[in-house]
Amino acid sequence: MDGIEAVGDAVTGGLLARAVEPTAGEAGSDSHTHEKNCLNCGDPLTGPYCATCGQRAHVHRSVRGFLQDFAQGLFNFEGKFWHTLPMLVWRPGEMTRRYIAGERARFISPVALYLFTVFAMFAVLNFTGTWTAGSGKNLSGQIATSIKEEQAGLARLEAKHQAAVAAHKDVADLDRRIAKRKADIAETQKALNTGKGLITADAGDETPSWIKPFIENARDNPEMVSLKVQEAASKYSWLLIPLSVPFMWLLFPFRRRYNTYDHTVFVTYSLSFMMLLVIAWSLLTAAGLSGLGTLLFFVPPFHMYRHLKGSYQLGKFSAIVRTSALVGFAFAAAGIFMVTAVAIGAS
């Protein structure tokens, strides 16, 4: 896992360096557009920048050019934020299509918005405590509570046993239930006292040897593992983009008009919106409006539908079918990412 972290540091450093110094003596790239009028406002171009709106004369349409925006504009939101956010919420498809077509001066770049939402999300989760609510640091307390509940259930069973004996009824079933309850309490008490047996009690030798170190580390140091998982999720959040783009290829296998760059912009804007939803949910939960916050989890499919339909100019039926597939793909990408983060955090 140290090797994976080193690779992550190298990739992050390379992306940042490339963004700060996008040109280092290379020849010009054919991935840049060559137009005579500004793609943002339409006015004639007389130099490397539009004299009317200030946008660059030539915009890129390549993944490498996309990554060059990693740092550019990160803190240069100005009035773009208030123009980008409403469109991202309600007209994401139109905004994505316009950005890909060349309107860059009006909107925050997808990479800058993504970085902003990532840092904002983890900051809000930590501030509100929703990230650590119910996490492993409360494991001992949860076990103790479980023991108390088991003991209360045992007391009720023993009372029923005494009543059945007094009434000369068959108590064989009650004897079995009492014995099982006592064995459960003893096993749970052992886990609380020794920190062992929680996971291996039922799994036995069936647990793969390669995963046992992760389980033992999570069991012995739950609070530290929780913090490391959070750190890994934040540090490697950029992985969500390359994990998601291949699924977009599967949605449009025969449409050559949409390339990797189009899918990357779509995915990055979509992920930014989902993180804004997590921020809203965290704030509502912290304010005691968890019921209202739960309703936000019904928003992603609707947003995906509007985003797909507008970005790729789909019909209603085609957008619905692809949205259904995209929801499944989103769970798959999120699952792969979380498994990676947990593996790094538990290592």
Kind and range of the H or E run holding 192:
helix 172-194
User: Which pLDDT belongs to residue 95?
Assistant: 93
Sorted by sequence, the CB contacts under 8 Å of residue 237 that are 6+ apart come out as 118
- The pLDDT-based confidence of 277 (bands split at 50, 70, 90) is very high
User: Which pLDDT belongs to residue 113?
Assistant: 85
- The pLDDT-based confidence of 211 (bands split at 50, 70, 90) is low
User: Which pLDDT belongs to residue 224?
Assistant: 65
Phi, psi at 32, each rounded to 5°: -85, 145
Q: Is 192's pLDDT higher than 50?
A: yes
State the average pLDDT over residues 74-97.
79
> What angle separates helix 80-90 from helix 260-286, to the nearest 10 degrees?
90
- The pLDDT-based confidence of 341 (bands split at 50, 70, 90) is confident
User: Which pLDDT belongs to residue 137?
Assistant: 46
DSSP 74: S
Single out the residue of 89, 17, 51, 70 nearest to residue 272, CA to CA: 89
Single out the residue of 285, 281, 286 nearest to residue 296, CA to CA: 281
CA 263 to CA 318: how far, in whole Å?
17
CA 143 to CA 159: how far, in whole Å?
24
User: Which pLDDT belongs to residue 2?
Assistant: 47
For residue 193, which amino acid is it? N
pLDDT in tens, 114-125: 888 888 888 888
Q: Is 204's pLDDT higher than 50?
A: no
Q: Are 40 and 102 in contact (CB under 8 A)?
A: yes
CA 29 to CA 23: how far, in whole Å?
10
pLDDT in tens, 17-37: 545 445 444 444 445 556 788
Q: Is 167 helix (H, G, I), strand (E, B) or coil?
A: coil
Q: Please, which residues bridge with residue 32 across strands?
A: 60
CA 5 to CA 17: how far, in whole Å?
18
pLDDT in tens, 132-173: 544 444 555 566 677 777 788 888 888 888 888 888 788 788
pTM exceeding the 0.95 threshold for the entire prediction: no
User: Which pLDDT belongs to residue 106?
Assistant: 83
